[in-house]
């Protein structure tokens, strides 16, 4: 099946991206660009496909994560370490605006595919390099994964119960944040290209974007000599802030980041007297009295169903949200109004639900043209577009280069 994108759809229509990355920050950055209309070509090794194809749940042997991560990407194979694969990659880079890769630093250079070689063919190319620790420094050649970034950034140290161990997230948090940072960096580099006429190298170290999300922990250490402790679901900046179990055995989350919201919550649960306490006037002081506030809020919530709690908080204009799982998300009217969930026709699975693009533009909708494709499904088509003859493609295949 030949796949194509409507050239008039998407804010990034006409932008050509080569995704030579794996697991998960690089591929997800390419996915974000593809969702907004970029033409993405996924390059994988002929015999070692992106391991993301086997991560997570599968339905009838069909990986579900790849259907989202690989969407809007035509897939080709090339062994970049060999002369034939190098030939293919240079041809792709010559016509591309962006190349995204996440090999260990120095690997592309070892294959004579570093930025000097790529820019010689295409001076306007933006090369986005995603790695665990960045392109410089003593750790640059270490294997780098999101788990290590979640540890080194301070995330694990401040996550978990006070008396418990540091806690890692059960999903690719650091990779996900790095993917957004990389997509943003690519757009910055492309904007700069409009002024200079030249591309440049983007260096994303996965340890850095997640660090930026964790607040001023570096500044706090510098000025106060303290670090943020583990507080479980509680916040050091405000209270009440926790998850609470309802009468019907479900859960809700409450936040009181604004003083007015905190006052509305304690009035709602029948404890307006707490507002008169001197410590109630600031979020930090309320956080020091979290036990008392959790008891007041939690005991009231425990006497009501989740539906009753959400309705009462909404009437009081207080901040609450039900704790959802996947089934709840699909049925929620707010997600439906936003168009968050898309039903996409997939050749393996049939009509399949997945999250759509991360935001909406008033003049350019994001587009999911097709779901993740099979390994190397578009090799012949893409190489023909690059000018490779059928005979040359057959030679490359015979040599194991594609």
Q: Among 50, 79, 97, 175, which one carries the catalytic annotation? A: 175
- In CATH terms, the fold of domain 242-329 is formyl-coa transferase, domain 3 (3.30.1540)
**What is the CATH number that goes with domain 16-213+340-398?**
3.40.50.10540
Longest CA span, the chain: 84
Share of the chain above pLDDT 70, in %: 98
For the question of residue 175 being annotated catalytic, the response is yes
Q: Is the pLDDT of residue 131 over 90?
A: yes
Q: What is the CA radius of gyration of the chain?
A: 25
CB 144 within 8 A of CB 206: yes
Cβ neighbours for 350, distance < 8 A, ≥ 6 positions apart: none
H or E element that contains 391: helix 390-398
CB 381 within 8 A of CB 390: no
- Strand order of the sheet with strand 98-101? 73-77, 39-44, 16-20, 98-101, 126-131, 201-205
What would the two tokens of residue 232 be? 């479980």
pLDDT, average across residues 121-145: 96
pLDDT digit string, tens, across residues 205-224: 999 999 999 999 999 999 99
pLDDT digit string, tens, across residues 81-119: 999 999 999 999 999 999 999 999 999 999 999 999 999
Output the CA–CA distances (angstroms, integers) from residue 66 to 71, 99, 353, in the order listed.
8, 20, 13
pLDDT confidence of 367, banded at 50, 70, 90? confident
Domain boundaries, the chain: 16-213+340-398, 242-329
Predicted structure pTM score: 0.93
What pLDDT does 2 receive? 46
Give CA–CA dist 36/31, Å, rounded. 9
Q: Is the pLDDT of residue 4 over 80?
A: no
What pLDDT does 8 receive? 56
């Amino acid at each position: 099946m030949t796949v194509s994108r409507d050239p008039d759809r998407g804010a990034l229509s006409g932008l050509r991206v080569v995704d030579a990355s794996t697991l998960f920050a690089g591929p997800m950055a390419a996915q974000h660009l593809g969702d907004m209309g970029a033409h993405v070509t996924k390059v994988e090794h002929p015999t070692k496909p992106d391991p993301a194809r086997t991560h997570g749940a599968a339905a009838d042997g069909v990986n579900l994560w790849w259907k989202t991560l690989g969407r809007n990407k035509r897939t080709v194979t090339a062994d970049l370490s060999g002369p034939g694969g190098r030939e293919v990659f240079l041809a792709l880079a010559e016509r591309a605006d962006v190349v995204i890769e996440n090999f260990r630093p120095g690997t592309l250079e070892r294959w004579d595919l570093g930025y000097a070689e790529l820019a010689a063919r295409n001076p306007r190319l933006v090369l986005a390099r995603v790695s665990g620790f960045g392109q410089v420094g003593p750790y640059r050649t270490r294997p780098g994964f999101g788990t290590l970034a979640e540890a080194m950034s301070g995330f694990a140290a401040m996550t978990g119960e006070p008396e418990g161990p540091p806690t890692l997230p059960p999903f690719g948090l650091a990779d996900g944040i790095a993917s957004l940072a990389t997509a943003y960096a690519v757009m910055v580099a492309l904007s700069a290209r409009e002024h200079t006429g030249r591309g440049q190298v983007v260096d994303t170290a996965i340890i850095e974007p997640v660090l930026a999300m964790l607040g001023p922990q570096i500044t706090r250490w510098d000025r106060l000599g303290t670090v943020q402790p583990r507080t479980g679901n509680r916040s050091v900046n405000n209270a009440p802030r926790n998850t609470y179990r309802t009468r019907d055995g479900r859960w809700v989350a409450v936040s009181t980041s604004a003083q007015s919201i905190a006052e509305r919550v304690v009035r709602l649960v029948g404890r307006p007297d707490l507002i008169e306490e001197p410590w109630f006037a600031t979020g930090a002081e309320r956080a020091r009295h979290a036990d008392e506030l959790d008891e007041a809020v939690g005991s009231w919530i425990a006497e009501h169903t989740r539906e009753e709690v959400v309705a009462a908080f909404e009437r009081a204009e207080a901040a609450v949200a039900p704790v959802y799982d996947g089934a709840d998300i699909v049925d929620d009217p707010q997600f439906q109004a936003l168009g968050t969930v898309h039903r996409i026709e997939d050749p393996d699975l049939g009509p399949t639900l997945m999250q759509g693009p991360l935001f909406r533009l008033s003049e350019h909708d994001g587009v999911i043209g097709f779901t993740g494709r099979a390994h190397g499904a578009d090799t012949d088509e893409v190489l023909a577009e690059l000018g490779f003859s059928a005979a040359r493609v057959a030679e490359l295949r015979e040599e194991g280069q594609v």
